[in-house]
A and B are shown apart, each in its own frame.
Chain A
Amino acid sequence: MKVWLVIFLGGLMTFGMRFSLIFLFGKLEIPDSLRRALHYVPPAVLSAIVFPELFYPAGAFSLSFDNFRLLAGAAAILAAWASKNTLLTLFTGMVVLLVLQVL
């Protein structure tokens, strides 16, 4: 019973948050400065997800050559910068990580 209550209410709440500002847009005056600020949501959120994945590979901070995920991530950043190609970036990062793990 508790499980189903949490699933339904939690689902409703999550939907509410996803829907909130899409629904309110236009009904609510959004200041220009805030609208411009929203352009920085993608780089901010994506980096905030990526950085810990690279620097905390097993839940502990690591800035060294033993941190294979950081090295593979750096290779992927170079690949992304040079190629602007998603699949090539994914491939580069994965191959570098697998090779480092095997060596």
Chain B
Amino acid sequence: MGAAGKNFWDGARAEIPLLVGVFPFGMIYGALALDAGLSKAAAQMMSSILFAGSAQFVAAKLFSDAAPALVILLTIAVVNLRHMLYSASLAPYLKDLSLKWKILLSYLLTDECYAPSVLHYEKTGVKPFSHWFVFGAGLALWSAWQVSTALGIFLGAAIPEELPLDFALPLTFIAMVVPALKNRPTIAAALSAGIVALLAYGLPYKLGLILAALTGVASGALLEGRKSSSRRTL
């Protein structure tokens, strides 16, 4: 297997634990979208074109409330705002790729694709075929999302509620973030973001998440800046 193939499969494999949580989520979305009055085709195409779990749930809910198109679009924009942070964060690693690759990987850039990809880049740096890792992770997630949406549309929500499969997502994120907490700025970033996320939980449309993420990034950067400036004065 070539280096491209190896990176592709490494990315797909890194995605597997996340799929445990994504699959039931996709099925629930499919069932819910039909409930909200969307046609089967529209429910499925929303998963392919919008391809953003939380935004799709919110959109389906707003469709069933008969909200105006402009309101739904604005809501989607706010819910997906965090993707700009991911875009900024991955940009330096993808800067030398062709426009075609940038477009493809941008389309696939979800929470679940971003997390393993950025950790991979931070661990190994940019290698000639690193972007195949992102592609592998993104395509694995994309396929699971399409298939699970289709299953949800055709089977309805046939998932037993006692099975806490949705818990797989935070657990996988724990597995990703805890080993990375190696210095004080990173720990401060994680803790402050977590605490603000708790305080801002009541805010609508994932605004709390965005506020928390920005607070975390700012505290990490501030602590790092203070450390390096005090080193300079010593």
Give A33 to B147 CA distance when docked, in angstroms.
42
B196 CB within 8 Å of chain A: yes
Q: Is A46 an interface residue (CB 8 A)?
A: yes
Cα distance A15–B88 in the bound complex, in angstroms: 14
Contact B220 A48 (CB under 8 A): no
Q: B217-234 toward A: CB 8 Å interface, digit per residue (1/0)?
A: 111110011000000000
Interface pair A86/B224, CB less than 8 Å apart: no
B157 proximal to A (CB < 8 A): no
Q: How far is the CB of A11 from chain B (nearest CB, A)?
A: 4
Contact between chains at A86 and B201 (CB < 8 Å) = no
User: In the complex, which range does the number of interface residues on chain A fall in?
Assistant: 35 or more
Complex Cα spacing A9 to B49, Å:
9
Cβ of B215 and Cβ of A44 under 8 Å apart? Answer: yes
Are B194 and A48 touching (Cβ within 8 A)?
yes
Q: Determine whether B126 belongs to the interface, using a CB cutoff of 8 Å to chain A.
A: no
Cβ-based interface call for B89 (8 A): yes
For A35, the chain B residues whose CB sits under 8 A away are: 92
A89 to B175, CA, bound (A): 6
Q: B213–A18 contact, CB under 8 A?
A: no
Interface string of B80-123 (1 = CB under 8 A from A): 11111111111110110000001101110101001100110010
Selected contact of B105 from candidates A5, A22, A43, A72, CB within 8 Å: A22
Contacts A36-B221, A45-B213, A80-B174; is A15 near B107 (CB within 8 Å)?
A: yes
- If A2-B69, A13-B73, A77-B174 touch, whether A50 touches B102 (CB-CB below 8 Å) is no
Q: Mark A69-99, 1 if CB is under 8 A from B, else 0.
A: 1001100110011001111011001100110
B219 neighbours in A (Cβ, 8 Å): 40
**Within the complex, what minimum Cβ distance (angstroms) separates B82 from chain A?**
7
**Would you call A38 an interface residue if the criterion is a C-beta within 8 Å of the partner chain's C-beta atoms?**
yes
A37 at the interface (CB under 8 A from B): yes
Give bound CA distance, A36 to B88, whole Å.
11
On whether the beta carbons of B46 and A7 are closer than 8 Å, the reply is: yes
Inter-chain CA distance A95–B169, complex, in Å, is 15
Given A13-B73, A44-B215, A49-B111, is A85 in contact with B49 using a C-beta cutoff of 8 Å? no
Tell whether A51 pairs with B72 under 8 Å between CB atoms, given A14-B83, A17-B81, A21-B84.
no
**What residues on B are CB-neighbors of A65 within 8 Å?**
none
A contact residues around B89 at 8 Å (CB): 38, 41-42
Q: Does residue B162 face the partner (Cβ distance < 8 Å to A)?
A: yes
A87 and B119 alpha carbons, distance in the complex (Å): 16
Cα–Cα distance between A48 and B102 once the two chains are bound (Å): 27
Q: Are A87 and B46 in contact (CB under 8 A)?
A: no
Q: Which residues of A pack against B, CB within 8 Å?
A: 2-11, 13-15, 17-26, 33, 35-56, 61, 69, 72-73, 76-77, 80-81, 84-87, 89-90, 93-94, 97-98, 101
A-B contact pairs, 22 of them (CB 8 A): A7-B50, A15-B107, A25-B91, A25-B94, A37-B220, A37-B221, A38-B92, A39-B122, A41-B213, A42-B89, A43-B193, A44-B217, A45-B82, A45-B86, A45-B111, A46-B115, A46-B173, A48-B216, A81-B179, A86-B172, A86-B176, A93-B167
